[in-house]
Amino acid sequence: MQKPKIIIDTSSWINLFRVDLTTYLIENFYVCVTPKVSNEILEGKGFAEDANLFERVSNKGVIQIITPKKIQEKIKHEISISSGEIEIIAYAIEKKDCFVLIDDSKVYQVMNRFNLKYISSANIVVDLCLIEKINKDMAYKLLEKLRRVLRDEVINKAKEVLKNAENRS
């Protein structure tokens, strides 16, 4: 079975590293980043472990760098032109062949308007629990760790999904 293609942003990489789920990401998705995201992550090279890991797996060809052909005018005024997110969204609009893993809820509205498929780091935790790769206690623990960097509503919704799944069992 072919892995689904996912484009990640800087904060998502750092957040998944923080909860030790980068291996899961790499093993289960065809992971891509844009040049800006790659540069943002690699700024931490030498002192940030997540950047060192990113460099190692990128050098092995596990993470691919993809570039959108252009940044669409319709998003230039909504997202910072110097951010990695603008490249990610431009690519996703252009190709529509991927999921976007993004933890910056400020761009969710833009993504919704263009019917782009996106998930957050919290969704990765929920998925792992639902497919029984981690137990519910671990899922709740990881979600609490992510609460420091994700909005409460994202974490609470993820916990609600887990609770509803628990009630169905």
3-class DSSP string for 134-157: CCHHHHHHHHHHHHCCCCHHHHHH
Examine the domain organization and report whether 25 and 107 are in the same domain: yes
pLDDT at 78: 84
Examine the domain organization and report whether 108 and 142 are in the same domain: no
Range of the domain at 109: 5-119
Cβ within 8 Å of residue 15, ≥6 positions away: 103, 121, 146, 149, 150
pLDDT at 169: 62
Cβ within 8 Å of residue 23, ≥6 positions away: none
Examine the domain organization and report whether 112 and 79 are in the same domain: yes
Confidence of residue 124 (pLDDT cuts 50, 70, 90): very high
Confidence of residue 80 (pLDDT cuts 50, 70, 90): confident
Cβ within 8 Å of residue 91, ≥6 positions away: 7, 34, 66, 67, 68, 98
Digit-coded pLDDT (tens) for 28-73? 999 999 999 999 999 999 999 999 999 999 999 999 999 999 998 8
Do residues 76 and 94 touch, judged by C-beta distance below 8 A? no
> DSSP assignment, residue 63?
E
Examine the domain organization and report whether 140 and 100 are in the same domain: no
pTM of the model: 0.91
Q: Which run of H or of E encompasses 5?
A: strand 5-8
**Which of 119, 135, 155 is the last residue before a domain boundary?**
119
Q: Count up the domains in the chain and report the number.
A: 2
DSSP-based three-state secondary structure for 30? strand
Do residues 75 and 90 touch, judged by C-beta distance below 8 A? yes
Examine the domain organization and report whether 68 and 112 are in the same domain: yes
Examine the domain organization and report whether 163 and 112 are in the same domain: no
Please give the structure tokens belonging to residue 59.
Answer: 């050098």
Examine the domain organization and report whether 104 and 127 are in the same domain: no
Examine the domain organization and report whether 10 and 90 are in the same domain: yes
Residue 167 pLDDT > 80: no
Which amino acid, one-letter code, is at 67? Answer: T
What does the alpha-carbon distance between residue 52 and residue 33 come to, in Å, rounded to a whole number? 16
Examine the domain organization and report whether 70 and 138 are in the same domain: no
Query: Domain holding 76: CATH number?
Result: 3.40.50.1010
Examine the domain organization and report whether 159 and 77 are in the same domain: no
What integer best gives the mean pLDDT of the chain? 93
Do residues 141 and 115 touch, judged by C-beta distance below 8 A? no
pLDDT at 109: 87
Examine the domain organization and report whether 131 and 110 are in the same domain: no
